[in-house]
A and B are shown apart, each in its own frame.
Chain A
Amino acid sequence: MAGYYHHLAAGDYIPAFPVSVDPLPALIQRRTFIDAWMFNLLFSRILAVQQYIIDNRTNIEA
């Protein structure tokens, strides 16, 4: 079954937020390797959302 596993390519997921929604990978059980870049991408996207909110806090909370 291991022959079915493959790596997704980090370069296929170029961040676009806040101009647009970020493209994010869809993992498939027993088909997709869990690579470190997926965590890093997840973390960076969370940080991007947080940064956007912090930058616009004055407007949001006005």
Chain B
Amino acid sequence: MPVPVHLIEGDYPKEFPSDLDSFPTVLDNEHYIDAWLLNSAFSSLSAIEGYLIGWRGNIERPLGTDIEGYNGVLDIPIPEAYYPAGLYCHAHDANLVAENIKADVDIFGVIGSLAGGGSHEAYFTSLLRANDGYWTPTVFQPSAGYTNFGYSTAINNAFLLFPLCFIPQGATITSATLLCHAAGNYNADTCNAICYFNAADSATAPTSVATADALSLTDGVVWSAIPHWASNTEYESPDLSSALQQVIDRPDYAAGSSVMLVIKDNGSTASAFRGMREYYQTTTIPPRLHVTWTE
């Protein structure tokens, strides 16, 4: 019969949770049953309990289910939960129906049935102060806080750049007008102007008298004998759709490009000019290009 030996506690290190703990293999009649054997087991059990308690919040998370977003809301909040594979998160919009989508266009599996693509309306603004301004034969003024056209002490011509024009190439412009607020009281007669668009695939604002004078232009729309303007009152230009149409019809124009309205003096009487609030004016709204179109 062999003489029992003592197992050495230090030979069995504790590694959990990064790795397994070490335990001896105890043999009847060969090893003494020492107290540390039970203590080692208790210590390991405590380490396991401590680990599980530390992560209890994760382990006991509620079981997640499919999630339905709110109508028309793009971002869908995901509540705290455990989500097993195979679940779905659904975004939906009650307007995503065939009759609201252009015929044969597939949007998330909904095939459109709208003949002709429907009519659209948008207001475009210049977005940056440098995108609108005016110039005389000798002075270029992109940030005066107002944009003039007509004749003050010299000829005044205005430019208004509208970035991010999302009208599709080839769309039919059914109306286009400039909406602007008077920068002051203008009571002098007779103010005459012609409105053009920059004949460019994607316009950029001029930076000098020379570049402004060199702008390529569409056909013009006459705006004659413009009535007096009262400060901060909103005014509307004549319909500019024929000029804007020439830009939208350009083969290399694309939705998202910039379009630029140019208003030139057309033989106004001395001192007969009109001034509009520029973008970033704090007391009123900026000039807006109001457009309706069909696709």
Residues of A within 8 A of B (CB): 34-37, 39-40, 42-44, 46-47, 49-51, 53-54, 57, 60-62
Contact = CB atoms under 8 A, between A and B. Distances in A.
A46 B51 contact: no
Given A46-B44, A50-B16, 18 more contacts: A36-B28, A39-B26, A42-B41, A43-B24, A43-B41, A44-B23, A46-B23, A46-B45, A46-B48, A50-B17, A51-B20, A54-B16, A54-B17, A54-B19, A54-B20, A57-B17, A60-B58, A61-B55
Contacts of A62: 58
Contact of A53 (B27, B41, B51): B51
14 contacts: A37-B26, A37-B28, A40-B25, A46-B21, A46-B23, A46-B41, A46-B44, A47-B23, A50-B16, A50-B20, A53-B51, A54-B16, A57-B17, A62-B58
B33 A34 contact: yes
Q: Which of A44, A50, A57 has the most CB of B within 10 A?
A: A50
A54 B55 CA distance: 13
B250 interface: no
B284 to A, nearest CB: 54
Nearest to B30: A36
A57 B151 CA distance: 78
A54 B21 CA distance: 11
Contacts of B17: 50, 53-54, 57
B19 A39 contact: no
**Chain A facing B: main interface SS:** helix
Interface of B: 16-17, 19-21, 23-28, 31, 33, 37-38, 41, 44-45, 48, 51-52, 55, 58-59
Q: Nearest 5 pairs between A and B by C-beta?
A: A43-B23, A36-B26, A39-B26, A36-B28, A46-B44
B48 A35 contact: no
A47 B24 CA distance: 12
